[in-house]
Structure 1
Amino acid sequence: MTRSIRPDAVLVQAVIAGALSFAHLHDIAAAAGQDGWKAWAYPISVDLLLVAAWRRLRILRTDGGPTRAAWTWFTVALAASLGANVATAGLLDLNAVPDWLRILVAGWPALAFLGGTLLVHTPEHPQSETAPDTQPAPDVAVIRDEPAPVPAPEPDPVPALPPAIPVPAALLAHARKIAEAHHTATGSPIDHDTLRARLGVAPQLADAIAHQLTGKD
C-alpha cells in the first residue's frame, strides 16, 4: 500500500522563510568583511542559537525552572536575525557597511559561543534533583493512625486582688461615713466612682478603701 505524499503548507512556509533569512544573513556577513565559508557560517550560527534558546525555554517552562537566561539568548538571536533581514531592505548600503556593523558581525561568534554554552549547562530539572534530600516523603501510616491532640482546658481566671495600699484610719472612717450617708439617702451602696469623687483620692487608693468597706479583706 503506497502512501501519497502531500506537502505540508506550514513546512513549506518554514523552508521558504528560513532560506530567505539565511540569504539575508549571508549577505550582511559578506558585506561586513566575512568572505568565503565564514559568510555561510553566520546564518547557521544565528538560526541554531535561536532554535536552541526556544527549545531550552520550552523545557524550563515545563519543568518550572528559571527562564530568564533562555529568554535573553532567544531575544539576542531574534534581534540578530531580524536586524539582518531588515538591513537588506534597502536601508543599508551593502557596498559601504558602517564600522559598528562590522564590529557586531566580527564579535558575533564569541557572543553565540557564550550563549550556546550557557544554554547547554542550564539544568533541565532543577526541582527533581533536590527534592529527595530536602523534602522526604512523610510516613502516611504513622500520620493516619496518630490521634488528634486534645487541647488542654484553660484554667479558670483568678480574680485580681486589690492593691496592698495602706489606708489611714481617719481616711477610712471618713469614707465609711460618706458610704453610710449615701446608703441612707439612696437606699443602695455607694459605687466606686462616687466614693472616689467624694474623697478626691487616686483610683488605687479608692480601690483599697472600697475593699475594706465591703469587708472583703
Structure 2
Amino acid sequence: MTRVLVVEDDPQLVRALVINLEARTYDVDAAPDGATALRLAAARQPDAILLDLGLPDMDGIEVIEGLRGWTRVPILVLSARNGSEDKIRALDAGADDCMTKPFSMAELLARLRAATRRSDTAPPAAAETALVTTDEFTVDLVAKKVRRGGRDVRLTPTEWHLLEILISNPGRLISQKRLLQEVWGPTHGSKTNHLRVYMAQLRRKLEADPSHPRYLITEPGMGYRFET
C-alpha cells in the first residue's frame, strides 16, 4: 500500500485529504508542522509527501531541504501563495511539483499517482540511465547522441545541456532559475529569454508538433519538464 505523508496545519484540509486518499487505498500520516513532518518521514518512510509551505514552526522550504539531505521521496508542494517566486524556491530546494490552493482534488490525485508511478519505476540511478526512448526520438546520455526517424539530430552544446538536465529528471518540474544557472552560469538566473529561444529550437528538432509539445513541457512562469 502506498503511504502518503500530509504536512498541513489546516485541520479541514487535512481531513479532506485524508478522506480522499484513504478512499483510494492510500495509507496516510498527517503532520501539523515541519518538525513533526521530518520526524514522521524518518520513522514511517512515506512513498510521497504533500507539503504546505506555510507551516507554523518553519518554512516549507526548510522541510524540503531537510528531507533532501537523505531521501528522494516525491514531494508535492501545496501553497496558498500565488506568486511564482516561492514555488521556484521550492523546486530549487528539491520539490517535484507545485499546486496552488485552492486546487482540484482530482488533479492532485492525478499528480500524486504520476509522482509515485515515476518513483516506483525509476531505476536506482535514474539520472544515469544510458538510453531514453520515446515514440519520437531516442537520447543516448552516455554517447551524447540524439536520433529521430533513424537519423542523428545535431544539437548545439547548449541545446544538449538543457535536454540532458530535463531528461535526467523525468516528470520533474525544473525551475527556470535552475536551468539558467546550470547552463549559463550563476549570473544568468533572470535571463528567461535565453530559455525560450533554446527550448523552441529543441522542440523544432525533436517534437512532431513544436507548437503543441508532447515531451518538452512548459509550466508558465515556473519552468519546464520532460514527460515520457
Q: Larger % of strand: which?
A: 2
Output the TM-score relative to the length of structure 2: 0.22
Output the TM-score relative to the length of structure 1: 0.22
Say which one has the larger Rg. Answer: 1
Higher relative contact order, structure no. (Cα contacts within 8 Å, ≥ 6 residues apart): 1
